[in-house]
Structure 1
Amino acid sequence: MAPQSRAHHLLLVVCGVFAVLSLVLVPLTLPLGWDETVYASRFSPYAPTTPFSAPRTRGVPFLIAPVATWSDSVVLLRVWLTLLATAALYLGFRPWLRFLGRPSGAAVAAALYGGLWFVLFYASAAMPNHYTAMGAVGAVGLFLRSRQSPVTCAGVAGGLALATLMRPNDGVALGVPLLATALLVPAWRGWSRVLAVLGGLAAGALPWIVEAYVRFGGVRERLTEASEVQGDLRPLLSVVHHLTVMDGPLLCRPCDSDTVRPLSAEWWFLLPLLVAVGLWSARSGSRGVGGPRREARQGPQGRPPQPSSAVLPGCLLAAAVALSAALPYLVLVPYAAPRFLAPTHALLAPAAALGVLALVDVARASRRPRIGLVALGLALAGHLAVQLPLAHSNAGIQAGARGDWARVAEVLHEHGVGGESRTSTSRDSRTGRDSHTGRDFRAGGGPEAEHTLPASSAATPRSFPSPTSPAAPPAAAAPHAAPPRSSCAKRNRRPGPAHGPATACPAPTHQGGSSTYARERPHHTSKRTLSGTPRPFCGLDVTTVPPAPSGNSELLRDSQPPTPASQPAYQAHEFV
Structure 2
Amino acid sequence: MASDPLTEPAVRTRPAVARSRRRSDLWLLGPVAAAYAAAQLLLAVPGTGLGWDETVYVSQVSGHAPAAFFSAPRARGISYLVAPVAAFTPSVTALRIHLALLSSGALLVSLRLWRPLLPTPVLALAGALFAGLWTALTYGPQAMPNLWVAFGSLMAVGCFLRAARAPGDRRALVGLCAATALAAVMRPADALWLALPLVCAAAVVPQWRRPALPATVAAGAVLGGASWAVEAELHHGGLLTRLHRAGEIQGGLGWHPALWDHLRALGGRTLCRPCDVPWSQPVTGLWWFALPVLVVGGLAVAHRAGPGPWRTLLLATAAALSVAAPYLLFVGYAAPRFLLPAYALLSLPVSYGLVRLFAAARGRPLVLTGLCLALAAHFALQAAISATLAARSRVTAAAFAAVAAELRRQGLRPPCLVSGEEAVRTGFRTGCASRQVHGGHDGSISAAGLVRLARSTPAAVLVAGGAPPPPWAARWRPHDLPPLPGLPAFRAYLAPSARAAAPPPR
Pick closer, same or farther for the CA change 1:408–1:441 going to 2, 3 Å: closer
Aligned to 1:320: 318
Q: 2:382 aligns with which of 378, 387, 393?
A: 387
Q: Does residue 115 of structure 1 match 2:110?
A: no
CA contact (8 A) 2:403 2:426 kept: no
1: CA distance, partners of 2:228 / 2:413 = 34
Q: Does residue 45 of structure 1 match 2:59?
A: no
Pick closer, same or farther for the CA change 1:546–1:346 going to 2, 3 Å: same
Shift of 1:455: 5.7
What does 1:66-145 correspond to in 2, within 5 Å?
Answer: 66-100=84-118, 102-145=119-162
Shift of 1:405: 3.4
Deviation digits for residues 327-350 of structure 1 (CA, Å, limit 9, x no counterpart): 100111111111000000001011
Shift of 1:185: 1.5
Q: State the AA in 2 paired with 1:335.
A: Y
The structure whose residues are more often helix, as a share, is 2
Q: State the AA in 2 paired with 1:115.
A: G
Q: State the AA in 1 paired with 2:394.
A: A
Counterpart secondary structure, 2:281: coil
Aligned to 1:15: 33
1: CA distance, partners of 2:178 / 2:412 = 48
CA contact (8 A) 1:94 1:138 kept: no
Aligned to 1:242: 262
The number of residue pairs the alignment matches comes to: 451
CA contact (8 A) 1:281 1:355 kept: yes
What does 1:223-262 correspond to in 2, within 5 Å?
Answer: 223-259=243-279, 261-262=281-282
Aligned to 1:271: 291
Deviation digits for residues 517-569 of structure 1 (CA, Å, limit 9, x no counterpart): xxxxxxxxxxxxxxxxxxxxxxx999x9769xxxxxxxxxxxxxxxxxxxxxx
Q: State the AA in 2 paired with 1:397.
A: R
What does 1:109-508 correspond to in 2, within 5 Å?
Answer: 109-145=126-162, 146-148=165-167, 149-259=169-279, 261-285=281-305, 308-364=306-362, 366=363, 369-406=364-401, 421-423=416-418, 434=430, 441=432, 454=453, 456=455, 467=466, 484=483, 488=485, 491-492=486-487
Pick closer, same or farther for the CA change 1:213–1:428 going to 2, 3 Å: closer
Q: State the AA in 1 paired with 2:319.
A: V
Deviation digits for residues 459-505 of structure 1 (CA, Å, limit 9, x no counterpart): x9999999599xxxxxxx978x66x47xx2xx3359xxxxxxxxxxx
2: CA distance, partners of 1:9 / 1:463 = 54
2: CA distance, partners of 1:250 / 1:466 = 23
2: CA distance, partners of 1:315 / 1:462 = 53
Q: State the AA in 2 paired with 1:385.
A: A
Pick closer, same or farther for the CA change 1:429–1:372 going to 2, 3 Å: same
Pick closer, same or farther for the CA change 1:217–1:468 going to 2, 3 Å: closer
Q: Could you tell me the TM-score, scaled by structure 2's length?
A: 0.80
Aligned to 1:291: none
Shift of 1:412: 7.5
Q: 1:27 aligns with which of 26, 38, 45?
A: 45
CA contact (8 A) 2:462 2:491 kept: no
Shift of 1:169: 0.8
Pick closer, same or farther for the CA change 1:75–1:273 going to 2, 3 Å: same
1: CA distance, partners of 2:260 / 2:70 = 30
CA contact (8 A) 1:420 1:453 kept: no
Aligned to 1:62: 80
Runs (4+) off by over 4 Å? 1-4, 406-421, 424-433, 450-458, 460-469, 544-547
2: CA distance, partners of 1:169 / 1:466 = 37
Shift of 1:451: 6.2
Q: What is the aligned-residue RMSD (CA, Å)?
A: 3.6
Q: State the AA in 1 paired with 2:78.
A: V
2: CA distance, partners of 1:47 / 1:41 = 7
2: CA distance, partners of 1:151 / 1:192 = 13
Deviation digits for residues 69-123 of structure 1 (CA, Å, limit 9, x no counterpart): 22222221111111110111111121222212x2211111110100001101111
Q: State the AA in 1 paired with 2:323.
A: A
CA contact (8 A) 2:117 2:309 kept: yes
Counterpart secondary structure, 2:262: helix
Counterpart secondary structure, 1:98: coil
2: CA distance, partners of 1:465 / 1:261 = 30
Pick closer, same or farther for the CA change 1:463–1:329 going to 2, 3 Å: closer
Q: State the AA in 2 paired with 1:192.
A: A
Counterpart secondary structure, 1:209: helix
2: CA distance, partners of 1:65 / 1:255 = 34
2: CA distance, partners of 1:258 / 1:465 = 26
2: CA distance, partners of 1:23 / 1:414 = 34
Q: State the AA in 1 paired with 2:26.
A: H
Shift of 1:143: 1.1
Pick closer, same or farther for the CA change 1:104–1:4 going to 2, 3 Å: farther
Shift of 1:32: 1.3
Percent identity over the alignment is: 36
Deviation digits for residues 158-201 of structure 1 (CA, Å, limit 9, x no counterpart): 11110111001100000011011112221322112122111111
Give ranges in structure 1 of 5+ residues lacking alignment.
286-307, 435-439, 470-476, 495-539, 548-576
Deviation digits for residues 418-451 of structure 1 (CA, Å, limit 9, x no counterpart): 99943278999799663xxxxx648xxxx99x96
1: CA distance, partners of 2:89 / 2:283 = 42
